[in-house]
Amino acid sequence: MSQKIDRKLSLDKFINYALYEKNFGYYMKKNPFGNTGDFTTAPNISRMFSEMIAIWTLNYWQNLGSPRKFNLIELGAGNGEMMKIMIESFKRFPIFFNSCNFYIHEISAKLIKEQKKKLKEKNIKWIKNFYNFKNVPCLFIANEFFDAIPIKQFIKKNHIWFEKHVILKKNNQAFYSEKKTKIEDIEKKLNINITNKQTFFEYSPLGIKYLRAIIKIIKKNNGGLLIIDYGYDDEITKNTLQAIYNKKYSDVLKNIGNSDITHSINYNLFRKITENFKKISINFTTQKKFLIKIGIKQRAEILSKNKPFKQKADIYYRLQRLIDDKQMGSLFKVMLIKKNNNNFNLGF
């Protein structure tokens, strides 16, 4: 992977190049999900995860008054495993299934191909944007979606703020550089105050754009946004940028186009952005509490009934990966954004 000229890019533009450049980007040329990929997401650990999200979705739809038309939109569907299991679950509830329009928002042509192989349902549409939704309640599900969107980073030195940039050389070597910036411009864009205690700040302009666009749709059409992702809920922003290469942590500036680059969600920032909208509320918890409250332990019991010991052990091993505090249980958080006249709180 190489380019013809040296370039100086803001960090988010560099990450976008490394992940989404149409010929060389990490997500554009391979399927990194599942057992053979660089990482395993919850739907690929156990089908119970997707079944729980399906049950939760059904309950959410009922709470909205079982509308005759309902849009379910998965943001960044990976290898399609979650949508596949959810649809299998929904088929047991024909009234819901026939009311629901299924959508996937995905920008990788390679992953769309993988998803289409797995999802042969006729009523799934792949969409590039959200502008064409008619006035129908929309539920957006973002499982490990926001963490893969490029971020900007800012560093404060001697009361002066600098934005992190990357110098990308012709031979694909890369180096960090800094450019003086006005933090007030960022505060204005986000409509928040970056506290004086901060000497570091990171955020995703595109992630915030998605968040705001979806909240506007929820306000207009009703529905909700369910975010499941690793992250933290502190006022003080952390540097969470990381790269994974061959299943190991790696230097962000090495193996460009062959490494996954991610960050942890700053749920505190998401909360502040959401609070700028009137009549919108938030529920928030850990993945462990969310899945247990929906009934994942009972589901594991049902699935393991009359199974040989080896299969039983496998079901419970996978359950532990999803809910154990040392694994995904506490690291992954769940945020629901909805209208504040909606008192639905299953899982929270």
Task: Write down the domain spans for the chain.
Answer: 24-150+202-243+257-339
Residue range 186-196: mean pLDDT, rounded: 90
Q: Phi then psi for 176, rounded to 5 degrees?
A: -80, 145
What pLDDT is recorded for position 39? Answer: 58
Please determine, for residue 104, whether its predicted confidence score (pLDDT) is greater than 90.
Answer: yes
Token pair listed for 9: 């890019």
Distance CA 84, CA 70 (A): 18
**Residue 296 binned pLDDT confidence (cut-offs 50, 70, 90):** very high
Lowest pLDDT segment from 49-58, 265-274, 287-296, 320-329: 320-329
Distance CA 88, CA 74 (A): 15
Four-CA torsion 187, 191, 194, 200, nearest 10 degrees: -60
Give the rounded percent of residues in the chain with a pLDDT score beyond 70.
Answer: 95
| Other CB atoms within 10 Å distance of the CB of residue 160 | 10
- Is the distance from CB of 228 to CB of 287 less than 8 angstroms? yes
Please determine, for residue 33, whether its predicted confidence score (pLDDT) is greater than 70.
Answer: no
* pLDDT digits 0-9 by tens, 60-92: 999 999 999 999 999 999 889 999 999 999 999
What pLDDT is recorded for position 3? Answer: 59
C-alpha separations of 20 from 14, 150, 286 in Å: 10, 10, 30
Token pair listed for 56: 């939760």
Q: Which residue has the higher pLDDT, 104 or 133?
A: 104
Distance CA 126, CA 98 (A): 18
What pLDDT is recorded for position 38? Answer: 55
Q: Whole-number mean pLDDT of the chain?
A: 91
Please determine, for residue 122, whether its predicted confidence score (pLDDT) is greater than 70.
Answer: no
Lowest pLDDT segment from 252-256, 267-271, 286-290, 332-336: 252-256
What pLDDT is recorded for position 37? Answer: 52
The CATH class given to the 24-150+202-243+257-339 domain equals alpha beta
What pLDDT is recorded for position 21? Answer: 85
Rg (CA), the chain: 21
Q: Which residue has the higher pLDDT, 275 or 27?
A: 275
What pLDDT is recorded for position 121? Answer: 67
Q: Please, what sign has the CA dihedral across residues 171, 177, 179, 182? A: positive
Please determine, for residue 2, whether its predicted confidence score (pLDDT) is greater than 60.
Answer: no
- Closest by CA position to 170, among listed 292, 19, 4, 296: 4
What pLDDT is recorded for position 120? Answer: 82
Please determine, for residue 47, whether its predicted confidence score (pLDDT) is greater than 70.
Answer: yes
Give the rounded percent of residues in the chain with a pLDDT score beyond 90.
Answer: 74
What pLDDT is recorded for position 195? Answer: 74
Residue range 145-151: mean pLDDT, rounded: 95
